[in-house]
Chains A and B, each alone.
Chain A
Amino acid sequence: MIRTENLTKVYRMGEVEVQALRDVNLEIQDGEFIAIAGPSGSGKSTLLNMIGCLDKPTSGAVFIDDIDTGKLSENKLAEIRREKIGFIFQQFNLIHTLNALENVALPMFFAGVGRETRLKRAEELLAKVGLGDRVDHKPSELSGGEQQRMAIARALSNDPEIIIGDEPTGNVDTEAGNAIMDLLEGLNREGRTIIVVTHDAEIAARAGRTKRMRDGKVLD
């Protein structure tokens, strides 16, 4: 279970303080598919970064399985990101020098998984997202939709319980977007918790629950 308690994040931009999150209290149950919707600048991505252990709160706390992540060392946070969380970014964020197989295998490399196991699993994951025939292709040789599917395969690399998507369909056409949502729904059916940030109402509608945000607050 993921829980935030009075989660607050303040960024300093020169002289100006920006309150990205204000006292956010949210609970996400294991196996839930939740969409976080809201306009640009509402704090969706900041919330996602906090839950995904990419950033630390200014005050308040994020608990993942009752562990206060704000109190963990950088190394421990890296371990949580590696073992428990899979990230899907709007811009795909694939390593452009590596091919599909190597990109998908990379998180397992950081986890210390043996080379053979790694490559075998990466191949299976690529087949799972429909890219079984694209293993040798570099990201630049694939369409936006295919790149995002490659990113989903990478997110599944270490078999995480939580999948976090920051506008995962934001950079692909409707058809590819639907295919991605189908994949995410499938992953949710496998029992994984899916948290997706979007400002697309149709996408949000496919989630089990939608939370809206505005001005750094979660609306009830």
Chain B
Amino acid sequence: MKDAFLLVYRNMKERKTRLALTILGITVGIGAVIALMSIGYGMQESITGQLVEMVDVIMVTPGAMEFGSFGEFGSFTDRDLEAVNRIGGVKDAVAMRGTMEDVEYRGETFRVEVVGIEPRDIGAVFGETVKLEEGGDAGRGTTGRELRDNDHKTCEIGYSIAYDYFSDELGVNDRLTINGSKFRVVGILEEQGGFTDIDSQIYVTARDAVTILDNDDISVIFVRVRDIEDAEEIAAEIEERIDDNHKLDDFTSAMTMGSAIEDLESVFGILQAVLIIIGSISLIVASLVIMNTMLMSVMERTHEIGVMKAIGAKNRNILSLFLLEVGVVSAIGGVFGCIFGVIGAHAISFGMQTALDVEIAAIVKPEVLLGGVAVAMIVGVLSGLYPARKASKMSPVEAVRYE
């Protein structure tokens, strides 16, 4: 085997430039697939990651709709909330009253979603996933606090509201005007990133939502269950109870985070497949490059193949020498492709963050890297099979005569 490698190595040394270009072709092909897959995993993680921490949560929205925005097809009432609370297995049921309001700060006005929530429920809904920004506060170093039950005309604001919406950054104790009433900022929420709405929302107490903003309609109910196993069953019961209250069919949509994650994962499965197809195009090009290189190599070495056969090489000796060569070239290309793919994925992630302000981490999975090298070798050997067979089948007398 050592000598077979030696033969291959000597031959590769003779054709450095072409070899380098072939390896480059494989590197780009494998690198593209790895980079795109890693970014795909990053996108998936940034969205489903937050949901995974909320697996025991059921989101109840009015109107049979898919996971997404709420409040467009009617709303719930306090009676619905009570009905949900009475269902066995429900740990907490939290109502949120969300409406779009005009929010003004230092002369600038935007329409922002303002959510009314019982302060004690904030923890029940968000758990550990949404926290106050520590020591941010527009550079003033105050952490701020959560809303309290007896708060009046106070709000917690999302990260983008504090730093992106208005020309002047908002800090703790600054005041903004919601629908004509002044509200004091008590806390700023940590940046959530990803695709949730929290960064662009303002939270007020449920009482303020009802009395000052005149919003009594519950736009969404978050339900935490005691046992995740029962989540689907409880979700069905919630739909039934609220539909009964409103005497409507399919009015309520209760979605467990588990099923939301499944939905998203299937969407990401498709996205990942599309990314792989795009990456595979470069892989196909790479395989044509390999085939072309090997065919040229076979042609150039016809005489040498003839000599080897004349001195006793069997067809399979020639075949294995060529396959070994293409295997080595592909493996080198595969390893370089992995390095290139990892660098590429991080570059894309960095580029998206700097240019588009979208935070998507490059998640490089070891199995993807191993797969990358394996695919490189499989593609390489398959592409090299035809040229190698062609070489092995040559008539020795004709090959020896070939100049």
* B7 close to chain A: CB less than 8 A: yes
- A118 to B, closest residue via Cβ: B3
* B277 close to chain A: CB less than 8 A: no
Q: How far is the CA of A98 from the CA of B13 in the complex (A)?
A: 11
* A149 close to chain B: CB less than 8 A: no
User: Which residues of B from 1 to 15 have beta carbons under 8 Å from A?
Assistant: 2-4, 6-7, 10-11, 13-14
Q: Identify which of B278-286, B291-299, B301-309 touches chain A.
A: B301-309
Q: Contact: A54 with B313, CB < 8 Å?
A: no
- A55, A97, A154, A157 pick with most chain B CB within 10 angstroms: A97
With known contacts A95-B307, A97-B14, A75–B314 Cβ distance under 8 A: yes
- B312 to A, closest residue via Cβ: A82
A-B contacts counted at CB < 8 A amount to 73
Q: Contact: B6 with A102, CB < 8 Å?
A: yes
With known contacts A97-B14, A98-B7, A102-B6, A54–B397 Cβ distance under 8 A: yes
Q: Contact: B312 with A110, CB < 8 Å?
A: yes
Contacting residues, chain B, for A115 (C-beta < 8 A):
2-3
Contacting residues, chain A, for B395 (C-beta < 8 A):
55
Q: Contact: B311 with A110, CB < 8 Å?
A: yes
Q: Contact: B311 with A82, CB < 8 Å?
A: yes
B-side interface mostly: helix
Q: Contact: A55 with B397, CB < 8 Å?
A: yes
Contacting residues, chain A, for B25 (C-beta < 8 A):
none
Q: Contact: A158 with B397, CB < 8 Å?
A: no
Contacting residues, chain A, for B4 (C-beta < 8 A):
109
- Expressed in whole angstroms, the minimum distance between the Cβ of A118 and any Cβ of chain B is 8
* A63 close to chain B: CB less than 8 A: no
Q: Find A95's partner among B13, B304, B315, B400 (CB 8 Å cutoff).
A: B304
Q: How far is the CA of A124 from the CA of B394 in the complex (A)?
A: 32
- A166 to B, closest residue via Cβ: B400
Q: How far is the CA of A86 from the CA of B354 in the complex (A)?
A: 70
Contacting residues, chain B, for A79 (C-beta < 8 A):
312, 314
* A93 close to chain B: CB less than 8 A: yes
Chain A interface residue count, Cβ-Cβ cutoff 8 angstroms: 31
User: Which residues of A from 97 to 138 have beta carbons under 8 Å from B?
Assistant: 97-98, 102, 105-107, 109-111, 115, 118
A-side interface mostly: helix
* B372 close to chain A: CB less than 8 A: no
Q: Find A81's partner among B10, B13, B304, B312 (CB 8 Å cutoff).
A: B312
Contacting residues, chain B, for A94 (C-beta < 8 A):
307
Q: Find A106's partner among B13, B303, B308, B397 (CB 8 Å cutoff).
A: B308
Q: How far is the CA of A105 from the CA of B307 in the complex (A)?
A: 14
Q: How far is the CA of A81 from the CA of B314 in the complex (A)?
A: 10
Interface string of B345-375 (1 = CB under 8 A from A): 0000000000000000000000000000000
Contacting residues, chain A, for B397 (C-beta < 8 A):
49, 54-55
Q: Find B307's partner among A83, A93, A157 (CB 8 Å cutoff).
A: A93
* B317 close to chain A: CB less than 8 A: yes
Interface string of A182-214 (1 = CB under 8 A from B): 000000000000000000000000000000000
Q: How far is the CA of A100 from the CA of B329 in the complex (A)?
A: 26
With known contacts A54-B310, A54-B396, A81-B310, A74–B13 Cβ distance under 8 A: no
Q: How far is the CA of A78 from the CA of B396 in the complex (A)?
A: 10
Q: How far is the CA of A16 from the CA of B313 in the complex (A)?
A: 32
- B4 to A, closest residue via Cβ: A109
User: Which residues of A from 49 to 72 have beta carbons under 8 Å from B?
Assistant: 49, 52, 54-55
* A33 close to chain B: CB less than 8 A: no
Q: How far is the CA of A107 from the CA of B14 in the complex (A)?
A: 22
Contacting residues, chain B, for A157 (C-beta < 8 A):
311
Q: How far is the CA of A111 from the CA of B311 in the complex (A)?
A: 10
Other A-B contacts than A52-B310, A109-B3, 9 sampled, CB-CB below 8 A, are A55-B396, A78-B315, A87-B311, A89-B307, A89-B400, A102-B6, A109-B4, A110-B308, A155-B311
10 examples of A-B residue contacts, CB within 8 angstroms: A54-B310, A78-B309, A78-B313, A79-B314, A81-B309, A89-B400, A93-B310, A93-B400, A97-B14, A118-B3
Query: Which A residues contact B (CB, under 8 angstroms)?
Result: 49, 52, 54-55, 74-75, 78-79, 81-83, 87, 89, 93-95, 97-98, 102, 105-107, 109-111, 115, 118, 154-155, 157-158
Query: Which B residues contact A (CB, under 8 angstroms)?
Result: 2-4, 6-7, 10-11, 13-14, 303-304, 307-315, 317, 395-397, 400
